[in-house]
Amino acid sequence: MEVAKGRQSSWVGSVQSLLGTVIIAVFVITFVVQAFQIPSESMENTLLIGDYLLVDKLQYGGGGIWDRIMPYRHVHRGDIVVFHYPVHPSQHFVKRVVGVPGDRVRLINRQVYVNGTPLKEPYVIHSSPMHDPFRDEFPRLNVPVPGLEGTWWLQMRKLVEDGALIVPEGYYFVLGDNRDESLDSRYWGFVPRENIIGRPLLIYWSLRSTNDNLPASSVASDKFYRFAYAVSHLFEITRWNRTFRLVN
């Protein structure tokens, strides 16, 4: 009888331990960190397609009374942030903050100026040799381009003064580090403060594209084949030099 009770007690303890672990995991995922995958080349070479990030959701707080109690920090110019895409909030974007509320932002021949001072951006790359008047001389009010959000085109015209775009209170102007291949604030507008989820903390894993390693005879559209190839060649396609790298 005592043996049976001991087994039952051990079983109950194991269940309690498992439930405790699940609750802690749910709490961490919900309030502390969130996993995020880089889907595009817009942040190269800081972040690459295939990088898997842990995003610190406590970095900036979430508004309300807790922001006055906890040691949260403000969003700073130069921060990389993950946010809900303002045009389609179900999508997550990652970009670098270039302008904070009150800043006057403009680009002259690809060089970013904030409040009349050229911004030092050693992380920026330019992948296109072609000059684009809208992209490289922003803001341009007389050169609409494909992909430009109509509402932003109208709003932007009201916020330009002396050739610079003024960032309103509660909003942020963001750009991709791969400046020529980034769909960013130049094309769809500001990021509201409430859309910001957090700041990337760590690349916990990074994978090269399996397309670079598939045999020539394979069918590129065969998702099962690509998945099987990735699993069987996991060691080879992992970018070990990027795994567990801090993001800055």
Q: pLDDT tens, 126-177? A: 999 999 999 999 999 887 788 899 899 999 999 999 999 999 999 999 999 9
Domain match, 73 and 25 both? no
For residues 133 and 23, membership in a common domain is answered with: no
Residue 238 lies in a domain: no
Q: How far is CA 29 from the centre of its chain?
A: 17
Q: Confidence class of residue 30 from pLDDT cuts 50, 70 and 90?
A: very low
Domain count, the chain: 2
Q: Which domain holds residue 94?
A: 38-206
The answer to whether residue 225 sits within a structural domain is no
pLDDT (tens digit, 9 = 90+) per residue, 38-64?
989 999 999 999 999 999 988 786 555
Residue 210 CA to residue 218 CA, distance in Å, equals 11
Identify whether residues 45 and 23 lie together within a single domain: no
Examine the domain organization and report whether 124 and 13 are in the same domain.
no
Residue 23 shares a structural domain with residue 128: no
26 and 148 co-located in one domain: no
Using DSSP, state whether 161 is helix, strand or coil. Answer: strand
Q: Is residue 221 part of a domain?
A: no
Burial of 153 (0-12, 13-18, 19+ CB in 10 A): middle
Answer yes or no: do 49 and 95 share one domain.
Answer: yes
CA distances (Å), 188 to each of 17, 149, 155, in order?
Answer: 48, 5, 10
Same domain, 148 and 87: yes
Q: Is 95 a catalytic residue?
A: yes
Active-site residue flag, 42: yes
* CA 164, 45, 247, 62 torsion-angle sign: positive
pLDDT digits (tens, 9 = 90+) for 164-217: 999 999 999 999 999 999 999 999 999 999 999 999 999 999 988 766 555 544
Q: Is residue 241 part of a domain?
A: no
**Within-domain flag for 46:** yes
For residue 20, tell me if it sits in a domain: yes
pLDDT, tens digit (0-9, with 9 covering 90-100), for 99-130: 999 999 999 999 999 999 999 999 999 999 99
Check whether residue 113 and residue 76 sit in a common domain.
Answer: yes
What is the structure's pLDDT at 96?
Answer: 98
Residues 4, 111 within the same domain: no
Q: How far is CA 215 from CA 33, 78, 206, in A?
A: 37, 41, 21
| Separation between Cα atoms, residue 225 and residue 223, nearest integer Å | 5
Q: What is the CATH number of the domain that holds 185?
A: 2.10.109.10
My answer on whether 49 and 137 are in the same domain is yes
Q: Please, what sign has the CA dihedral across residues 222, 227, 233, 239?
A: positive
Say if 115 falls within a structural domain. Answer: yes
Q: Where are the beta strands (DSSP E) in the chain?
A: 33-37, 51-56, 80-84, 92-99, 104-108, 111-114, 117-118, 160-161, 164-166, 171-175, 191-192, 196-206, 245-246
| Active-site option among 57, 90, 95, 185 | 95
pLDDT in tens, 58-101: 878 655 555 555 556 889 999 999 999 999 999 999 999 999 99
Which one is catalytic: 10, 14, 17, 42? Answer: 42
114/126 same-domain check: yes
DSSP secondary structure letters along 11-49: HHHHHHHHHHHHHHHHHIIIIIEEEEE--SSTTTTTS-T
In this structure, is residue 108 part of a structural domain? yes
